[in-house]
Amino acid sequence: MAISNNVNSAIIAGQFGLQQSFDGMTQSALNIAQRTAQQDVAQNGPGDLLASASLRGLSTVSDLLPSGGDSLTSDLLSMQLYSMNALASAKVIDVANDTVGKIIDTIA
C-alpha cells in the first residue's frame, strides 16, 4: 500500500507542477504581450483611425488592465523557468507511470 500512495503522490505532484508552470507561462506571456502593445502605441501613436471617443474608451480599459511585470527580461526569464518546471513535472509523471507499469508487471 505504501508504494501505491507514493506513486499517487508523485503523479499528483507532477500534475500540480504542470498546472503551476502553465499558469506562470500564461501570466508571463500576457505581460509580454501587454508591454509590447503599450510600447507600440507609445512609439507609433494611435493614428488617425480612432476617434476621440474611442481613445477615451481605450484609456479607460487600459487603466483597468493589470500592469505588466517588472521588465521584459524578467518575463522572458519567467517563461524559461516555467518551461523547465513543466518539463520536470512531466518527467515526474512519466517516472511514476513507468513505476506503476513495473509494479503491475511484477505482480502479474
Per-domain residue ranges for the chain?
2-44+71-107
77 pLDDT band, cuts 50/70/90, is: confident
Q: Per-residue DSSP letters for 32-94?
A: HHHHHHHHHHHHH---TTS-HHHHHHHHHHHHHSPP--S-HHHHHHHHHHHHHHHHHHHHHHH
Distance between CA atoms of residues 59 and 69, nearest Å: 20
Convert the pLDDT of each residue in 54-72 to its tens digit. 655 666 665 655 555 568 7
pTM of the predicted protein model: 0.50
23 pLDDT band, cuts 50/70/90, is: very high
Instruction: Tell which residue, 108, 105, 104, has the closest CA to residue 4.
Output: 104
Query: For residue 10, what is its C-alpha cell?
Result: 508523485
Distance between CA atoms of residues 4 and 9, nearest Å: 9
Residue 32: C-alpha distances to residues 59, 67, 92 (Å):
19, 11, 29
